[in-house]
Homo-oligomer: A and B are copies of this chain.
Amino acid sequence: MAVGSSEEKTGTRERILEAAEGLFAERGFEVVSLRDITSLAGANVAAVNYHFGSKEKLVDAVVERHATPVNRKRMAMLDEAEERHAGGPVPVREILEAFLNPLIEHISGGEREQQLFCKFMGRLMGERGYRLPESVEPMFQAMAARFSLALQKAVPELSEELALWRMHFSFGVMANTLMHGETLRQISAGRAGNPTVEVLLERIIDFCTAGFHAPAEPGRGDG
C-alpha cells in the first residue's frame, strides 16, 4: 500500500506535498496551478488526482499535514500551563504563547523554510477564512474551545462575549503578521530593523496580552 521506506528516494506523493506547500505559501491556494506544483515536484499532472483525488483535497492534505501536529502541541502546552497553575487561571501571556510557540517549534529548517511556513499558516488563517478541511475541523474547534475557556478564566472581569472577540483580534494580528511579515519588513526597510521570527512573535504576544487586559468599557466613559 504505502511505500514504507522513504529514505533514499522520496515518493511522488511526498514531493508533491512539499512543492504544494511552498507554492501555496508563496502565492496562495487558488492562484497556484497543478502544473506549477507537479513541474516543481518533477511529477506528472495526473499524479495529483491519482494520489489526492482533486486539487481541493490536495490543499486539505497540505493543511492537515501541519495543522494536526501543531494543534496537538498547542493543546499539550495549554495542559502544561494549566497544571503549572494548579487549576487557577493561566495568565493571558502564557495562553497566547501556547498558541503561538508550537508554530515556531514546528519550524526546523532554515530561513527560507521559516518564511514559507509562516506565510502558509498566515494564509490558512487569513485567505481561507476559518474554513478548514473536514478532517481537522473537529480538532480546531476543540482547540478553540479550550483556548476560549482558558482566556475567559484569565480575564474574568470581561464578559464572555468580549473575551471571545479579543481572542479573535489576537488571531487577526497573528495571521496578518505571519502572512505579510516579509512585506512589512521590506516596506519599513531599515527603520523597523530585521527582527527574527522569534522576536517578532514575542512582540505580537506583548501587544495582544496588553490588548486583552484593556479595561472592559474605556470607550464609554471618556469620549
A contacts, CB < 8 Å to B:
28, 30-31, 93, 126-127, 129-130, 160-162, 164-166, 168-169, 171-177, 179-180, 183-184, 187-188, 191-193, 195, 200, 202-215, 218-219
Q: Tell me which of B129, B171, B180, B206 contacts A129 (CB under 8 A).
A: B180
Q: Is the CB of B126 within 8 A of A203?
A: no
Q: Known: A210-B214, A214-B210. Is A184-B168 also a contact (CB below 8 A)? A: yes
Closest B residue to A220 by CB, please name it.
Answer: B202
Q: Tell me which of B129, B173, B213, B214 contacts A179 (CB under 8 A).
A: B129
Closest B residue to A219 by CB, please name it.
Answer: B202
Closest B residue to A190 by CB, please name it.
Answer: B161
Q: How far apart are A126's CB and chain B's nearest CB, in angstroms?
A: 6
Q: How many copies does the complex hold?
A: 2
In this complex, the member of A173, A177, A188 whose beta carbon has the largest number of chain B beta carbons within 10 angstroms is A173
Q: Tell me which of B160, B175, B192, B210 contacts A211 (CB under 8 A).
A: B210
Q: Is the CB of B130 within 8 A of A193?
A: no
Q: How far apart are A101's CB and chain B's nearest CB, in angstroms?
A: 12
Q: How far apart are A39's CB and chain B's nearest CB, in angstroms?
A: 21
A114 to B195 alpha-carbon distance, docked (Å): 37
Q: Known: A126-B126, A172-B173, A214-B207. Is A164-B191 also a contact (CB below 8 A)? A: yes
Q: Which residues of B contact A166 (CB under 8 A)?
A: 203, 207
Q: Known: A205-B219, A207-B214, A219-B206. Is A164-B176 also a contact (CB below 8 A)? A: no
